[in-house]
Every structure is written in C-alpha cells, then in structure tokens.
A and B are shown apart, each in its own frame.
Chain A
C-alpha cells in the first residue's frame, strides 16, 4: 500500500503573488485501494489542488506539505513525481505535433524502467492494442500525433488510455467526464474501474453525480473557498445532487 498525504496545504498562483491563496489549508489522505471524489463549485480550487500535487510550476505552495509514504515531494519536479507514481488526467490536455501517441506512451513507460530493461516493442504493441480495444478507440489513434486534432471526447479517452498503460499508483482525474457522451462516459468509467485494486488510488474531480454512478467512490469531499468543508461516503454526492453547494459553508466540516 502507498499513501499520499496532503497536509495543511496553502497555494497561490505564482504569477499573482498579491492575490489571496486559492487553497487555504487542505488536509487529505489517499491510500492506494481507495477512490476519492472531489466535488465543489467552480473556481474553488479543485483543479489547483490536482495541479499542485502533480507539480505544475504555475502554482506556489506557501505553506504545508505533500508526501508520498511520508516523504515530501515538494522539491521534486513534475517528471519525478510522475515516476513516483502520480498521474494527472488533465482537463485540457496539450496537443503535441510530430510525436505519435504510441511513441509517447512508450517513452512514458520506458522512463519508469531502467535503461537496460526497456519494454519490448511487441509486448508494448500488444498491450496498447488490447487497451485501445477496451476503450473502443480506433486503431489509427495510436499513430496520430499526440492529441493533435482530437475532439474533446477523444482527448479524454486518450488520457484514460495513458493512465491504463502507465499504471500509476495515484491518478487524479480532472473533469474526465466533461465532453463525453453517455456511452463514452461508461467506457471511460469501465477503464478506470479496471484499474481498481490494492495498488491503485484515485481522486476524481467532477461536477456530476452521474460519473459516480459508474465509479462508486469510497469517499466524497466537498471543496469550497479553498478548504475541504465536508467529507462523506458515496451518499454525500447523491445528496448534493438534490441540494447543491449553496447551503454548505466553510467551517461546517468541524461542526
């Protein structure tokens, strides 16, 4: 089992030091084997939390710590964090011309393996074909340039393809359901569910209960005004679907 701990995390946007903190003391522990859902109104810090854990250089940690198995990762660059087992399925994946999807995924897998033990090409292709098949992605998407000209839904599916090929310990999935039709949503959810196990934990950021019908969370957290104001089980998400966030106030978590 691996443990990801967020302790009293305060975060600012690096380019806007005069602006107030976006995250104001987040405490959260995710163990592998657990599925956490992070919900809350727009613009309250959910993506900032995921990006900061991943190591996006646009954000500045002003207080607190992020630890994997007790060791701080704050001074580690984004690629080191990835190799330690973190993965972020992004809301807006970048498009990279000239690098094929397959080539990139292989480079990502090989970055985790020693130089003298790179993944054999046939084994890689087999695994890629099977995973793409599972996600119902057309074959030619392996040879297309990374996210280049992909539709919104294709990009999201491609994030899950990378997740399933790289097999991280912790996946943060940022609005992986946006832009997906109902069939695609089910396929993507099945992909994530197939990762479930003792060595995999995830934090799913979503606005909609619908995704959580397919990927049933163990914990649901509500993030508002830069703080986690409530934590509950899967039923909390269902409740919110009826009541909305408006009635929830900072400080309620301790009440």
Chain B
C-alpha cells in the first residue's frame, strides 16, 4: 500500500489502519446461489468492480472468489433468490438486474476468517423493482465490506441490512440514484456486543431528477462494543425535485458501550427537500417503568424496548422465519450481556 491512501468518505471509521492488515489470501469456494434457471450464475476468474479508491483496490486484490449473477429483463418472481457467502472467506459478487424485473433477493454471510474483504456490486436497470435483504452474521475477526448499488431511471430499491455479526470492521453501503425517478429506502439494523468495533457508512447520492433516498439506521450496543453510524445524503447539482432524508439512532445498553450517530447532508441543488435526525441514547426509563407497571419483569421489559427500537430498522423484513431468527439472536445476545 502507498503511504498516502485515497479513501471513501467514512468519518470515524479507521479504514487507514484496517488497510494495513493483510487480507486472508486462501482461495475459497465462491458464494452459492439458489435461483430459478432463468437467472445466470457464474464464477469467472475476474470481474470488473468499482475501483476508484484504495479501499476498493484492497477489496478487489486477488486471490478472490468471484460470483456473477444475471437476472434477466422482465424477470418477475417473489420467491427470494438466495445468495450464501463462502463459509470461510470473502469474495466479490456482481449482480445485474435487467429492465423492469421484479426481484426479491436475500444475501447471507456467516463466514469465518481473520481478515475478510467483501465487495458486492448491484446494477439495477430501468424500471426494475428490487427488495433486498442482506443478513450479515460474520464470525470472522475483522471484515471490510462494501455494497455498491447503481440505479437507473424509475427503479425502486427497498434494502434492509441486518447486522448481527461478531466481527469488527467497516460496512460501506453506497447507493447511486443515477436515473430520474429512482427511489431507494435503505434500512440498517445493527446489534453490536462484546468488544466489537463497527463502523457503518451508508450513503445515498441523488444524481437523477426527482430521485428519493431515505436512510434509516438503528443500532443497539451492549458490553464494550463501539458502533459508528454515518449517514451520508448527497444531492448533486441538477438533481431537481429530489428528496434526501435520514435517521441515525443508536441505543446504548451498558456503561461501557459507545455509539456515534453522524448525519451528513450535502446539498448542491436548491429545488429539493432534505432532512435528518440523529440520537445516541440509553434505554428510556419511562418506557421500562410503564411496561413493568403491568407486571412484566425488567428483563422482558428491556427486550421489548430494544426490539421496538430495532424494529424501525428491521421492520421491512417480511420473512417471518428470518425475523424470528433475528429476535432470537437479540434475546441471546442480551442474555449473555445480562449475565
């Protein structure tokens, strides 16, 4: 790595320090994909990924498992296409979604390792509607992850990231509203425990006219964990009639838990609407008292408050089994934290 690195905008996330570490270099089996036969899945030797800064170059450095997924134009199926990341490594995933397709997609990562790099790029062609769920449950020590979404005109994206990992590291999520009328809702729900040090930078850039970008991040932090939420809404000059909204909230459950919520709005156009809200808070004693005054124990009351808080980030998840899995994970983490 050169002495001076070019890095993406990710305040309070120590990317420079992370990039000094060597990425796990064993070539692992690539991600597996469960999809109808009309969807083309391939594992070529290489694939063109975003490479505009040193962070991206680090992610792209070989050896690297590669997976490409091509969802054809007009594809329409509400059964989720499922991608499962390698059990013991990272990799590159490039997904193209054809015009006017209507897609439900689920990503799941539980990889082990010491230093993983993961890059996922999603190109959405005009008129497509995409419901995306990324379930991150990494068991690795450190993970640097980037998801980049490029959206053409009149596309709709509803993306939920459920962050239930054990690793430290960074998660960058960049959505580019390139075409006019593109609309993205990005929900992020994160549970941080133990000694995790996690940074999220969730950015939406309005390039096209009448584009809508909403970011909603919720994080619960316990033990000695540290969670940073950056929300970056950027409306570029010329993106008239666009809307950028964001909400970043963290809830700290223990004395040594640390949380940061940084809303960043960059507005270079006049004819737009934009807004943000941010908070870093502790469990509301009034809510606990109210719930307990009906006879539920302090432990149950606390879980209800926490679940309600995360619900705002994970509320879009329709898969009942997955939702139950997440709630069980919350309970398990809190039981460990209470012990």
Task: Spell out A's residues near B (CB within 8 Å).
Answer: 54-57, 77-79, 82-83, 87-88, 90, 93-99, 104-105, 107-108, 111-112, 145, 162, 166
Knowing A94-B284, A96-B304, A111-B300, say if A166 contacts B294 (CB, 8 Å): yes
Contact of B292 among A82, A97, A145 (CB under 8 A): A82
Contact B287–A56 (Cβ < 8 Å): no
Residue on A nearest B286 in the bound complex, by CB: A94
Can you list 13 A-B contacts (CB < 8 A)?
A: A55-B293, A78-B292, A79-B292, A79-B297, A82-B293, A94-B287, A94-B291, A96-B287, A97-B308, A97-B309, A97-B311, A98-B308, A98-B311
Tell which of A54, A57, A82, A97 has the most Cβ of chain B within 10 Å: A97
- Roughly how many angstroms separate A94 CA and B284 CA in the complex, as a whole number? 10
Contact B296–A111 (Cβ < 8 Å): yes
Q: Does B301 contact A (CB under 8 A)?
A: yes
- Roughly how many angstroms separate A107 CA and B291 CA in the complex, as a whole number? 10
**A-contact bits for B243-282, CB 8 A (1 contact / 0 none):** 0000000000000000000000000000000000000000
- Roughly how many angstroms separate A214 CA and B316 CA in the complex, as a whole number? 45
Tell which of A87, A93, A99, A162 has the most Cβ of chain B within 10 Å: A99
Chain B residues within 8 Å of A97, by CB? 308-309, 311-312
Contact of B304 among A56, A78, A93, A104 (CB under 8 A): A104
A118 to chain B, nearest CB (A): 13
Knowing A56-B289, A78-B289, A94-B290, say if A166 contacts B308 (CB, 8 Å): no
**A-contact bits for B298-314, CB 8 A (1 contact / 0 none):** 10110011011111100
Contact A98–B301 (Cβ < 8 Å): no
Contact A83–B295 (Cβ < 8 Å): yes
Contact of A79 among B301, B309, B311, B312 (CB under 8 A): B301
Contact A104–B294 (Cβ < 8 Å): yes
B262 to chain A, nearest CB (A): 23
- Roughly how many angstroms separate A112 CA and B300 CA in the complex, as a whole number? 13
Chain B residues within 8 Å of A107, by CB? 296, 300, 304
Q: A99-B304, A104-B294 are in contact. List 17 more A-B contacts (CB 8 A).
A: A78-B289, A78-B292, A87-B293, A93-B290, A94-B284, A94-B289, A95-B287, A97-B308, A97-B309, A98-B310, A105-B294, A107-B296, A107-B300, A108-B294, A111-B295, A166-B294, A166-B295
- Roughly how many angstroms separate A95 CA and B308 CA in the complex, as a whole number? 10
Contact B296–A99 (Cβ < 8 Å): no
Tell which of B285, B289, B311 has the most Cβ of chain A within 10 Å: B289
- Roughly how many angstroms separate A99 CA and B305 CA in the complex, as a whole number? 8
Contact A57–B295 (Cβ < 8 Å): no
Task: Spell out B's residues near A (CB within 8 Å).
Answer: 284-287, 289-298, 300-301, 304-305, 307-312, 315
B290 to chain A, nearest CB (A): 4
Knowing A96-B308, A98-B312, say if A108 contacts B285 (CB, 8 Å): no
Contact B304–A88 (Cβ < 8 Å): no
Contact A77–B292 (Cβ < 8 Å): yes
Question: Which 10 residue pairs are nearest across A and B when measured between Cβ atoms?
Answer: A98-B308, A98-B311, A82-B295, A94-B290, A108-B294, A97-B308, A79-B292, A111-B295, A78-B292, A94-B287
Chain B residues within 8 Å of A95, by CB? 287
Chain B residues within 8 Å of A112, by CB? 295
A97 to chain B, nearest CB (A): 4
Tell which of B294, B296, B305, B315 has the most Cβ of chain A within 10 Å: B294
Residue on B nearest A93 in the bound complex, by CB: B290
- Roughly how many angstroms separate A94 CA and B285 CA in the complex, as a whole number? 10
- Roughly how many angstroms separate A77 CA and B311 CA in the complex, as a whole number? 28
Chain A residues within 8 Å of B298, by CB? 77, 79
Residue on B nearest A78 in the bound complex, by CB: B292
- Roughly how many angstroms separate A108 CA and B304 CA in the complex, as a whole number? 12
Chain A residues within 8 Å of B311, by CB? 97-98
B65 to chain A, nearest CB (A): 37
Tell which of A56, A77, A93, A96 has the most Cβ of chain B within 10 Å: A96
- Roughly how many angstroms separate A90 CA and B285 CA in the complex, as a whole number? 15
Chain B residues within 8 Å of A77, by CB? 292, 298
Chain B residues within 8 Å of A78, by CB? 289, 292-293
- Roughly how many angstroms separate A95 CA and B304 CA in the complex, as a whole number? 12
Chain B residues within 8 Å of A93, by CB? 290
Chain B residues within 8 Å of A87, by CB? 293-294
